[in-house]
Each structure stands twice: as structure tokens, then as C-alpha cells.
Amino acid sequence: MKIVRAEAWLVDLEPEVVRFDAIQQFVKQETVFVQLETDDGLVGTGYTYTIGTGGNAIIALLRVDLLPRLIGQDARQVEALWNKLFWATHGTVVGAITSLALAAVDTALWDVRCKAAGQPLWLLAGGYRERVPLYDTEGGWLNMDIDVIVDEAKKSVSKGWPGVKIKVGKPNPMEDLARLSAVRDAIGPDIDLMTDANQSFTFAEAKKRAKLFEPLNLFWFEEPMPAEDMSGHIELSRSTSIPVAVGESIYSL
């Protein structure tokens, strides 16, 4: 199953609703697609994305340094190819641009593998669960007024979502507390309520806000500090009863 074609392209998707979190505005989703074709006619598609910057850098890395190395390779050797590309660009790893490019290739390879096996990814990867719990974050952006996030949370619950996530990071911590409290009152005690600071706090501020949030029985407090501050997140987790979530902005073990 040799790879005979490897292409990448970029599609900009503009959001229908203006979205802000504590550190950035979601201007557009730069969606990078990778498509791989094998000599037996299978086509695998993978993608990755940014929230407005860096997409062209990912495309350049893919087209110049990564995809040419896939031609003639066995598409079934997913892990071996990932390592081949990782070490071929070791000067720029580990970091967001290279990791996002590798992710698009990796997903495309798994797509080929699943099509060849005639199985969905969840089953081919082990098939432990057929269902996983989800939560809705669409109605909890920081730029939305408190009455809007309350109304959106109610809508999410009425649609069957088992959890909702609300962004925090207002200059005044009491405003964050008021927003979270209003949502908790609206959805009741049985719906999971998460919150996300998008790496915007210092340790001292994160610790203070976690203390304020504890009575709300939050499901987790996500990225309270810069993601690479692992020692800070560990220390914070020891100081609060709220589970501390971190990982989506970390690109290495």
C-alpha cells in the first residue's frame, strides 16, 4: 500500500458568531487539509487548524519538508511514518507548527488504514467505548453578556447536553464568579459545569479564583495558567478541590 500522492491545502472558515476568550479573538479557523492516495486507490484525508494565524506556515512545512518524504512509503506503517517525519524536522520540534502539521498527516494515514480494514477508527483503535460524554462550549464565550450565557446554557441542557463550559478571565474576579454562579443556578446541580481561563492567570490569581469557584462544584478549571507552567498547575491542583485541566496547548509529553 504505497503512497503515490500527498497534497495539502488551506481553507479559511469565518465564524458566524464573534467569539472571545481571555486572551484572543477567534477571527477565523485556518483549516489545513492533507490528502494521501495509495497505489491501490485508497484516499485518506486529515486536517488540523489554527484560530487565525500560522496556517500558511503549516502548509509550507507540509509541502516542502513533510509530504515529499511520504511518496513511495507504506501507508500501513502509521507510527513508523510519524517518527520518520518527526526526526526529519527535529530542529523545529516540539512546537505547535510542526505538531499541527504532523497531526494532519497522522490523521490522513489513519483514515487510509481504517478504509483498508473496513472499520471505523474508534473500533480499530481498540473499541473500548461506543459512547463518550460531551459538553457544550459554544454558548459560554467571554464576550457574551451574563443573560446570554445563562440563556445559552439552558438551551444546551434542553438539547440533552450533559455539561456546559463557560469562559472566565474578566479583570474583576467577582464578575467571573457572578457569571458562573448564574449559570449554575440556571442549570441546577446535576449538569456538569466546566470553566476555562485560556492560560490567562498568574499562579496567585488562579489560586484566588479557584477558591472563589469551589462552592460551585465545577467539573474542572481549564488552563488557568500558561500551559507550559506544569509546576504551577501541579501546585494549583494541590491547593484546590476543583480538578485542574491542562493539555490542549501542550505539544510534547
Q: Rounded CA gap, 94 and 87, in Å? A: 11
User: For residue 166, which phi and psi values (nearest 5 degrees)?
Assistant: -115, 130
Question: Using a CB cutoff of 8 Å and minimum separation of 24, what contacts does 25-30 make?
Answer: 25/52, 26/51, 26/52, 27/51, 27/52, 28/52, 30/54, 30/55, 30/56, 30/58
Q: Please give the pLDDT value at position 25.
A: 84
Residue 246: Cβ within 10 Å count: 23
Note the pLDDT of residue 177: 98
Task: Give every residue of the chain whose pLDDT is below 50, as ranges.
Answer: none
Strand partners, 10: 32
Grid cell, residue 127, equals 473499541
Return the CA Rg of the chain: 21
Residue 214's pLDDT is 98
Q: What is the DSSP letter of 62?
A: I
What contacts 110, CB < 8 A, 6 or more positions away?
Answer: 44, 46, 78, 121, 124
Q: Is the peptide bond before 94 cis (omega within 30 degrees of 0)?
A: yes
Q: How far apart are CA 229 and CA 172, in angstroms?
A: 23
Helix, strand, coil share (%) of the chain residues, nearest 5 = 45, 20, 40
Structure confidence at residue 15 (pLDDT): 85
